[in-house]
Structure 1
Amino acid sequence: MEQLQVLIQEKYKGSPLLIGLQGMQGVGKTTLGIQMKQLLSQLNIQFDSISIDDFYLSYIDREKLDKRKYKYRGPPGTHDYQMIIKTLSQFKEGKSIEVPIFDKSLHNGQGDRVGQKTIKCQVLLFEGWFVGYKSKCLYEFKQKEKQLQLDGKDYDQDLEIFINEQLKLYEPIWEQFDILIQLKPNPFELSLKWRLEAEKEMRIKTGNGMSDEQIVDFVKYFWNCLHPLIYNNLICDLVIEVNKQRQYKVL
């Protein structure tokens, strides 16, 4: 956390500071946000965090999306990206911001908005699984297909090309960041392992949750949308590698 503290102190000059955080499912984005809050409170800096998940389209609007492409909520195209741009712009202007509250349990797990919350802070963390990702050219898709030797059963290139086009709509959001941080699991397949472990714990505690087979399908769908081997090599201010013991190492 020492490098992170130095980075924030270098960048923060009294004006609102916006930090982007990219991390795959289960890598520890929420935990890092808590640590940042504790760190900045010691420096008397007001901190808060929001997620790209807060800005999902309403249930009604998501029902209008192409179900053949959007098997699950989460990929580019399932959020109100214009609201994100407006909200973060207001933060950068020093204003209070209104952030939607999204209840993931509604509509049999499809989720919906249930109101909004007001946030006023000096440093804001905006986190999400594809935060900072940039759209790629078709040549890179072809190279990836050859590299991974994927067949039609495991890989839908049409889906990835479609999602890649949607990703372009989000790039103006990333341009507002003052700092971009990446939590990077090594290897990237750890995100599947951690998600399986988390879902198993949920099944034990609540009796509910997805089966291992459903989790594998879920995670691989997101890999197909924006595969880590193509998109996860970000140009960041700080890259924090996370190993299988969940230990941090600044690269």
Structure 2
Amino acid sequence: MASGLEIVDDKSPICIPFILGRIKEQQRIQQLNRKEHLGSDAGNRRPFVIGLNGVQGVGKTTLVGALAKTLQLEYGLETLVVSIDDFYLPHADQKALAAAQPDNKLVACRGEPGTHDMKLASAFLEAVTQGRPARIPQYDKSAYAGEGDRVPESQWLGVNGPGQRKVEVVILEGWCVGFRPLSPMAITAKWMGPSRTLQDHDLKDLEFVNWHLESYEPITAMFDAFIHIDAEDLEWVYDWRLEQEVNLIRERGSGMTHEQVIKFVDAYYPAYELYSSNLRQGVFADKLSCHLRIVVSKDRRVKETFII
């Protein structure tokens, strides 16, 4: 490729059968429930909600684009892809959060759990899953010299509106989607153990992020299935992010330096160190075979798959 960066989609052929199988099972359960409640509307089918997690640079954008296209065109399923990034706090609220926690580097800028507007995310997904009209929030990462800000609501696109097909599948993707809060004892144990970035932060600052992760739980509870694109070695995220910047410089003439890339990824990496091991065990406590974990090697190609 001219860009020098090739991400091969060898993941959607694995994900599509998994998704279709879970949708079929959901429909079977819904049909049984309708038979038990004779007055219900047989056509009122709740959208199927998928959470998708993958470290930065692993190829989430390529994957969700392929999944949406296949589900839409080949299987006729009206599919909506939403990014957790579009629920970042507005610029003013992010600045206020940073000012209220002046010594907490984890919330000095957008990124870690706690820097998203989860009330907005929950309200949006509740509307979509109930078949009501909703507008998709958008976030402009280039605003305020890269600090970012929410796009005015007047520019948000709508779904489930008059004349539009009802959304049948929702994919919520993001680097921290599916992360679940840990106990104080577990946070302390990880902080005291070997790590790349955790000891760069005060324990109370990690606990602050962990406390905010509680507000993400209502979203996780909405998932009918989960896909986790996992790296055999999490530290490859530094190399993958650097590759992206090298290509940006080649194509656009500007991008982050090597040192800036490390600093950028360091802002996210504590959450990887805290929550990835639990995520690998499965995001659901009460749903069997609903979590697909795909492990990739350094070239981002599939190495192993697990159904949890």
TM-score normalised over the length of structure 2: 0.75
CA distance in 2, matches of 1:223, 1:180: 21
- Tell which deviates more after alignment, 21-30 or 149-158: 149-158
CA distance in 2, matches of 1:110, 1:198: 19
Question: Cα offset for 1:152?
Answer: 8.2
Q: 1:166 to 1:88 in 2, by over 3 A?
A: same
Alignment partner, residue 245 of structure 1: 299
Question: Cα offset for 1:119?
Answer: 2.7
Question: Cα offset for 1:141?
Answer: 2.6
Alignment partner, residue 197 of structure 1: 243
Alignment partner, residue 87 of structure 2: 55
- Tell which deviates more after alignment, 82-91 or 70-79: 70-79
Matches within 5 A, 1:1-251: 1-12=12-23, 13=27, 14-40=45-71, 41-66=73-98, 67-69=102-104, 70-114=107-151, 115-120=155-160, 121-148=167-194, 154-224=200-270, 226-228=271-273, 230-234=275-279, 235-236=282-283, 237-248=291-302, 249-251=304-306
Q: 1:97 to 1:11 in 2, by over 3 A?
A: farther
Question: Cα offset for 1:183?
Answer: 0.7
- Tell which deviates more after alignment, 57-66 or 152-161: 152-161
Unaligned runs of 5+ in 1: none
TM-score normalised over the length of structure 1: 0.91
1:215-236 CA-to-partner distances (Å, cap 9, x unmatched) read: 1112122122x13354343114
Amino acid corresponding to residue 250 of structure 1 in structure 2: T
Unaligned runs of 5+ in 2: 1-11, 28-44, 161-166, 284-290
Question: Cα offset for 1:153?
Answer: 6.5
- Tell which deviates more after alignment, 140-149 or 73-82: 140-149
- Tell which deviates more after alignment, 229-238 or 151-160: 151-160
* Structure 1 runs of 4+ with >4 Å offset: 149-153
Larger Rg: 2
Q: 1:71 to 1:200 in 2, by over 3 A?
A: farther
CA distance in 2, matches of 1:81, 1:218: 23
* Count of aligned positions: 250
- Contact 2:198/2:273 (<8 A) preserved: no
Q: 1:83 to 1:230 in 2, by over 3 A?
A: closer
1:174-212 CA-to-partner distances (Å, cap 9, x unmatched) read: 101111111101111111110011112112222322211
CA distance in 2, matches of 1:140, 1:214: 31
Give the structure, 1 or 2, with the largest relative contact order (CA under 8 Å, sep 6 or more).
1
CA distance in 2, matches of 1:151, 1:78: 19
CA distance in 2, matches of 1:86, 1:94: 12
Q: CA RMSD in A?
A: 2.0
Identical counterparts, % of pairs = 33
1:65-99 CA-to-partner distances (Å, cap 9, x unmatched) read: 12432222111121110011111111111223211
- Contact 2:181/2:214 (<8 A) preserved: yes
